[in-house]
Amino acid sequence: MKRTFKLSFFALLLAGCASTPDTANLVAESRQTAGGLIQTLGGELKAAMTAGGPAQAIGVCKERAPKIAAEAAQRTGMQIKRVSPNNRNPKGVPDAWENEALASLEKRLAAGEKPETLDLHGVVNTPDGKVFRYAKALVTQPACLNCHGATEKLSPEVKATLAAEYPNDKATGYSAGMIRGVLSIKKAL
Distance CA 103, CA 24 (A): 23
**For range 123-133, the mean pLDDT:** 94
Give 3-state DSSP helix, strand, coil % of the chain, rounded to 5. Answer: 60, 20, 25
Q: How many CB atoms lie within 10 A of CB 22?
A: 11
pLDDT in tens, 35-75: 999 999 999 999 999 999 999 999 999 999 999 999 999 99
At residue 7, does pLDDT exceed 80?
Answer: no
